Chain A
Amino acid sequence: MLLASTITAADFKIVGGGAQITDQHLSSHAKLDLSLNPRSATAIVNGIPIIICIDLELVQNKLWPWSTTFLKWRYPVKLGYHSLSRRFTVTDPRKQSTAVFHTLGEALRQLDRFSVIEALPAAIAKKKNLVVRIRARIDTESLPAPLRLMSELLPPWNQQSQWHEWPVQ
């Protein structure tokens, strides 16, 4: 019931966002729309935590087709289930906190708003035509070994959004 009511469409989307550099600090935020496929949700309830990674990259667009990536960040968030309290948990190592939710949907909505501030080297902060790219995905490497091969072969375990980018203000 918990899963059926909270999971509508298994997809990771980046709805919007923005970034700006102020005093050699990159301030970036994004609006996410995350939903898990039933297989992943069932795995969480059965004690297999799913780590959702937010990948952030700072790149510089140039005239040629490819761009230069300066910095990369990876923000993992662990989705789990606490069977003793029958609650879903969202553990954020960056904030060193664990939040508790009645449903998986509530837990995923907790992740909808993403914001981060990262310090930049001065040389990079001065560059122009900088672009921030963001993507959300399931970290298949953190899955148990039996599921890891399946995650390579089966799409439900290999959920990830498209890269979404916007210029740095």
Chain B
Amino acid sequence: MESTKPMARMARPIMNFRRALQPGPAIGLSIIFLAASLLLTPAVENKGLLGDFYGGLVALNVIGIVIMTTLTSINVYRLIRQFRAQVLGARLALRFVVIFALLAIIPLSLVYYFSVYFLSRGVDSWFDVRIEQALDDALLLGQTSLEATKTDVVIRLHRDAAQVSQTTSPFGIIKLLEELRGEGDFSEMSLHSLSGRVIASSSGDAISLTPSAPDDTVFARIRQRKTYAQVEPLFDGGLQLRIAVPVISDRMGDPVRLLQGLYPLPLRYARLGESVQSASDEYNRLKFLRQPLKLNFVITLTLVTLMTALIALWLAIYSTRRLVAPLRELAEGTRAVASGDYLKQLPVHSGDELGVLVSSFNQMTNQIRLAQEATANSQQQTEAQRTYLETVLTHLSSGVLSLAKDGTLRTHNTIAESILAVDLTAFEQRPITTLGDTHSQLAPLSSAITRHTQHNDQDWQDQIVLASPHGRQTLICRGTRLPETTETLSGYVIVFDDVSALIRAQRDAAWGEVARRLAHEIKNPLTPIQLSAERIRAKYLKHLAGDDQATLDRATRTIIAQVDLMKSLVDAFSHYAQPMQLKPVSTELNRLLQDIIELHRQNKKINTFELDLDDTVPLVRIDPAGIRQVLNNLVINAADAMAGIPNGRLTLRTHQATRSKDRSVTLEVRDTGPGFPQELLGSIFDPYVTTKTKGTGLGLAIARRIIEEQGGSIQAENDPAGGAIVIIQLPVSLDTKPTGPLEGITNTASSH
């Protein structure tokens, strides 16, 4: 929160500044500045009030130019920055601005150039040497005419001065001045001492009390005994001659005096003179003002041109922005749609063609969005169905393979991998025949599938027997040809089940039934047979002698021995057929193994006992007596197998199974004997299958039954280095402590 405050403070002036760049205020400013520049034209001609505010208008225009230059520069800078940042539409906007600017500025520059040129030439054309000379001549003529009048008046005043000099009486002088003024048409006549005192005066203006005093220049001329004559303009218009002459008396001792006469020039004469002077002055004034006037015109023209150019440039930028904005938005929208954003909707600013285009774009994205949603829903449903199907296939107890029409493996479920013990993922998108090529035990399966697919069989079913290293595996395999709706969906579905366990169970059940019948049908007559044989032996053996006695003895002994053998055989079958009474408890397997081995230490057939026990194996949930029976059988079988083989070694190894999904402990019983015959490897755990000359052939069958009854598994294989290996998987107990004491367990094992 703290960090956002300075940002907000910074953002506020930026927003204000941007607001200042908005078209509204800028257009208002443009109108004001344009009006100010237009007002310069009448102002420079000094028309009325505008002439008085010319300087202010110039200043306003300069300010306007500065503001418009700033605004335009900012806009151009932003445009260039956007162009460099490759913002959408910036290139087009810059191009439009340049074109608009050139279209505005080039003609404006040409007009400006020629305007300045013709203005300068026009002002210069006002002045002509001949006119100037004529005006000078006219002025000189006026001055000459005035000089003639002045000379005439001076002569008359000298004559008057002579009369005044003859007069001594003050009243006589006043009277004389009155007469002379009237006769000479003077407006005023006055007599002054050289000290400036007024001696006498006469004036035509009754209001004027004092005569017009001559200045120091006049007195200086008179002191030099010279005449002063000068044309003077009057305050209220008109001209007058001021003439002063010295009054020198013939009488000795009289001081020199000054006689001044003011002679108004005739009105018509004065007007003509003023007219000539006015024309001359006007011409001289214009001549003097020529450069400033041209400068004013040029400044005005420059300001107007600059202002117009800047406003045109700004309008070009503004128009370009307005023109390009929908195009840029369209480009952004198109890019958004291309990147998958179908929710993009653009604002419609106008009802022109661009507005229609934007509306069409919005409609298009809307339709795409609806289609996209429908597709997504469809995909979702498909995905759900696919997930459901995969779930069903995964939890099927049957293996499922799907093949393309050309026999390429497309998909499979995990049970298929489990049944076939092969990573089928590596074979996907490869012909099913490669499965048999790389795994020879699967060749019957791949060849059966290939055969049916090549024949394009609609539905088929085969029983396939695979010879795996762990024994024979029987599969019931069913195939179906899929309907050829599309190329991708056509092909075959293969479903197979591992019925090995089922067949084995059926076989076990059959053997159980046989055992039960044997026990019932055979064991019952054996006892009377044995008793009868013993009775015959007891009753008749002592009565016979010689060869007869020996024959009877041998025959009855054989009968009794064979009956015993048959009894034990029947007992074994009976035991096999009876349900197991197992009591699984949590047991330390390693300790149990050590106990069992100790019982067999004295077995001379086994040279070496080796225990490779993993201390970390958890407790297993087994019936110790049953496991002891199984292991006794396996140890005795191994000892029998290694009889006569020097350095026979029996190895017991435990470790925790890691590959199996369920937690289990693996127990391996390994000998160095000749191993299992390869042809019996698949049925070694079946009843009545044995490699011994003696025995019931039920030992391994019972062992398998005990193990499987406790949730374990057992399998046999040959060690490539020599010898047989029996591998037992036992379930792990959830308890952490043994619940069944090993002590007290009796050795019930027996070899069959």
Contact = CB atoms under 8 A, between A and B. Distances in A.
B is bound to A: yes
Interface of A: 42-43, 46-48, 82-87, 89, 91, 96-98, 100, 102, 141, 144-150, 152
A84 B293 contact: no
Contacts of A86: 143
B296 A145 contact: yes
Contact of B55 (A82, A98, A152): A152
Interface in B197-219: 217
Contacts of A96: 235-236
Contacts of A84: 139, 142-143, 146, 231, 239, 273-274, 276-277
Contacts of A97: 235
Given A85-B230, A85-B231, A150 B281 contact: no
A50 to B, nearest CB: 12
Interface in B283-340: 284-285, 287-289, 292-293, 295-296, 299
23 contacts: A46-B281, A46-B288, A47-B281, A48-B289, A83-B280, A83-B284, A84-B143, A84-B231, A85-B146, A85-B230, A87-B230, A91-B235, A98-B232, A145-B43, A145-B45, A145-B54, A146-B44, A146-B289, A146-B293, A146-B295, A147-B292, A148-B55, A150-B292
Nearest to B145: A84
Given A47-B282, A141-B52, A147 B289 contact: yes
A84 B285 CA distance: 15
Interface in B45-86: 45-46, 51-52, 54-55, 58
Contact of A85 (B233, B236, B284, B288): B233
B234 interface: yes
Kindly list the 10 A-B residue pairs having the minimum CB-CB distance in the complex, ordered from nearest. Answer: A47-B281, A46-B288, A145-B46, A146-B292, A85-B231, A47-B285, A146-B293, A84-B277, A46-B284, A98-B235
B230 A100 contact: yes
B252 to A, nearest CB: 35
A98 B234 contact: yes
B84 to A, nearest CB: 41
B287 A46 contact: yes
B216 to A, nearest CB: 10
A100 B232 contact: yes
A100 B288 contact: no
Contacts of B234: 98
Contacts of A144: 46, 285, 289
Contact of A100 (B44, B233, B280): B233
A48 B285 contact: yes
Most buried by A among B51, B239, B280, B296: B296
A44 to B, nearest CB: 10
Nearest to B241: A85
A148 B54 contact: yes
Nearest to B142: A84
A43 B277 CA distance: 16
Contacts of B51: 145, 148
B233 A47 contact: no
Nearest to A97: B235
A47 B46 contact: no
Nearest to A81: B281
Contacts of B299: 149
A98 B285 contact: no
B296 A149 contact: yes
Most buried by B among A43, A97, A144, A149: A149
Contacts of A146: 44, 289, 292-293, 295-296
Most buried by B among A42, A144, A147: A144
A105 B296 CA distance: 31
Given A141-B52, A146-B292, 8 more contacts: A46-B288, A47-B280, A48-B289, A84-B139, A84-B273, A84-B276, A85-B146, A98-B233
Contacts of B288: 42-43, 46-48
A55 B206 CA distance: 36
A25 to B, nearest CB: 24
A85 B274 CA distance: 11
Contacts of B235: 91, 96-98
Given A84-B273, A85-B233, A98-B233, A149 B285 contact: no
Contact of B58 (A46, A91, A100, A149): A149
Contacts of B43: 145
Contacts of B274: 84
Contact of B295 (A82, A85, A150): A150
B185 to A, nearest CB: 20
A148 B217 CA distance: 36
Contact of B232 (A46, A48, A85, A148): A85
A54 to B, nearest CB: 19
A82 B231 CA distance: 10
Interface string B15-47: 000000000000000000000000000011110
Contact of A102 (B217, B231, B280): B217
Contacts of A150: 292, 295
Nearest to B47: A145
